[in-house]
Structure 1
Amino acid sequence: MQKWIFFVLFILAGALGLGVLFQDISNRQEAKEADAASSKIQQLKIVASNWQFDQADFTVKSGEPTKVSLSLKEGVHAIEIQGLGIKLDKENPSKEITFDKPGTYEIDCVLPCGEGHAKMKSKLVVQ
């Protein structure tokens, strides 16, 4: 008889544990979805490889919060967006900013990265 009682208690404890586990996972998923919905900010991802960026021109909308991030595909690089005070490198790869002034800004690699470093430029168009 005691074996049956322990068996039932074991099954109930397992079910309770699974219930708590799935409830916690569900709560985390809901919180993650809420964060994603509330932080719908535009993304500007700049990918740097040896002596070039992945695009010649990048475009963002002015007046909207933007997450600017630098991704290093090849080599070690650091960028500066001239006139906006944005500097990104391996240690600080992203920054959130709201572009207030429409215009065209130059993106430069500011870390000497080899023979093609002087040509490593791109443009940011803020509309």
Structure 2
Amino acid sequence: MFKWIMPALLVVACLFAVYLLANDLPAKPESEDAGLAEGQELLKITATSAGYKFDQAEYHVKAGTNYKIKFSNKLGVHGAGIEAAGLELSADKPEADYTFPESDKGKTIELHCTIMCGQGHSTMKSTIVVE
């Protein structure tokens, strides 16, 4: 009696699948290096709430090289401050361009959280090693 229901549902499902494939595909992700000026390098700093840490204990940079510094949070509200460079990054200002001067070669610069993010705030630190 209702033999036509299954073929009709199959046709509707196929049409819906074709529609989704044609119209709602997500955009191809952009490379994080896209938009960098020639000779510029990317320095990614990510703050995690697990243990109040940055994603790396040490970040290595080259003196005299221009960097686009990108900051992001995985969870929570954090900031990243590099006092020696006069930089303060947060969710409101997640990017900055900076060239570590040749005079900083061989130095270790402190990176710390600039937003009072919780009880582990005072220990949320990392270092930037200028090579």
- Shorter chain as denominator, the TM-score bin is 0.5 to 0.7
* CA–CA distance in structure 1, aligned partners of residues 37 and 91 of structure 2: 28
Gaps of 5+ in 1: 1-34
1:124 corresponds to 2:123: no
CA contact (8 A) 2:67 2:97 kept: yes
Question: Between the two proteins, what is the percent identity of the paired residues?
Answer: 38
**Runs of 4+ off more than 4 Å:** 35-38
After superposition, the Cα gap between the structure-2 partners of 1:37 and 1:47, relative to the gap in structure 1 and judged at 3 Å, is closer
* CA–CA distance in structure 2, aligned partners of residues 44 and 37 of structure 1: 11
- Render the CA deviation track for 1:2-55: whole Å, top value 9, x for unaligned: xxxxxxxxxxxxxxxxxxxxxxxxxxxxxxxxx868534211100001111000
- Render the CA deviation track for 1:85-116: whole Å, top value 9, x for unaligned: 01101111010111112211000001010111
Structure with the higher helix share, 1 or 2: 1
Query: How many residues align structurally?
Result: 93
* CA–CA distance in structure 1, aligned partners of residues 36 and 56 of structure 2: 28
Gaps of 5+ in 2: 1-33
Structure number with greater Rg is 1
After superposition, the Cα gap between the structure-2 partners of 1:115 and 1:95, relative to the gap in structure 1 and judged at 3 Å, is same
Q: What residue is the counterpart of 2:40 in the other structure? A: 41
Q: CA RMSD in A?
A: 1.7
1:86 corresponds to 2:87: yes
SS at match of 1:105: strand
